[in-house]
Chains A and B, each alone.
Chain A
Amino acid sequence: DGGITQSPKYLFRKEGQNVTLSCEQNLNHDAMYWYRQDPGQGLRLIYYSQIVNDFQKGDIAEGYSVSREKKESFPLTVTSAQKNPTAFYLCASSTPGDRGSYNEQFFGPGTRLTVL
């Protein structure tokens, strides 16, 4: 089955530790995204990548880092510089559309990170 997987589902870390969240897709999508969702808030874009070996900062990139060495994989590292890392992290992917087409994104199940 094609889809997006994120692991782990729940993650606990001590303050000051870096942690890497996994995101893998077998949909052959070119673009991948990382969002953060806090209670009662909309999704906020952290980083996105439209092709391998290239990525751009989103609206809240500070304290995060990513890599895109393979088309299928877009891991996110939450560093100790991120002030409030406890959140629900969602990975998504999409195909670039032609002019005027629709670029819906498909989401993985998410990782709930709690920093103690």
Chain B
Amino acid sequence: RKEVEQDPGPFNVPEGATVAFNCTYSNSASQSFFWYRQDCRKEPKLLMSVYSSGNEDGRFTAQLNRASQYISLLIRDSKLSDSATYLCVVKVESGSEKLVFGKGTKLTVNP
């Protein structure tokens, strides 16, 4: 089983749609979780950290289920500018600075 697995996508949705991305991780000792966004041919940028209690930032909601080793990202009222690849990222080792990146899920929001 890969350390971090994401929905393969791609997702094509109309403007205003709600879209959800899922991610699973294999190491139960994983401590920190993030969603990054990567635009075409650009560097990844942190979208949001994922907290145990779940967290929301505007139209974006991230949730963590430690028992199922599952992370999700929900985007409401999607905009054209949300089109990008979304990367699920996990810090898998205690005391390590290493992050493990999923392959990403590509989202295209259509007018």
Contact = CB atoms under 8 A, between A and B. Distances in A.
A106 B99 contact: no
What size tier do the contact residues of chain B reach?
20 to 34
Contacts of A97: 32
Interface string A98-116: 0011111111111010000
Contact of B43 (A31, A103, A104, A109): A109
B101 A42 contact: yes
B104 A58 contact: no
B80 to A, nearest CB: 23
Contacts of B97: 31, 33, 48, 50, 94, 96, 103
Nearest to A105: B99
A11 to B, nearest CB: 15
B64 to A, nearest CB: 12
Interface string B20-62: 0000000000011010000001111110010000000000000
Interface in A16-52: 31, 33, 35, 40-43, 45, 48, 50
Interface residues of A, number: 28
Contact of A106 (B46, B98, B101, B102): B46
A78 interface: no
Given A90-B44, A107-B45, A110-B43, A100 B99 contact: no
Contacts of A90: 43-44
Contacts of A33: 97
B87 interface: yes
B91 interface: yes
Interface of B: 4, 31-32, 34, 41-46, 49, 87, 91, 97-99, 101-104
Interface of A: 31, 33, 35, 40-43, 45, 48, 50, 58, 88, 90, 94, 96-97, 100-110, 112
Q: Across the A-B interface, give the 10 residue pairs with the lowest CB-CB distance, nearest first.
A: A107-B43, A42-B103, A43-B101, A42-B101, A31-B97, A102-B32, A102-B49, A104-B46, A110-B43, A109-B43
Given A42-B102, A48-B97, 15 more contacts: A35-B101, A42-B4, A42-B87, A42-B104, A43-B87, A88-B41, A90-B43, A96-B97, A97-B32, A103-B32, A105-B99, A106-B46, A109-B43, A110-B42, A110-B43
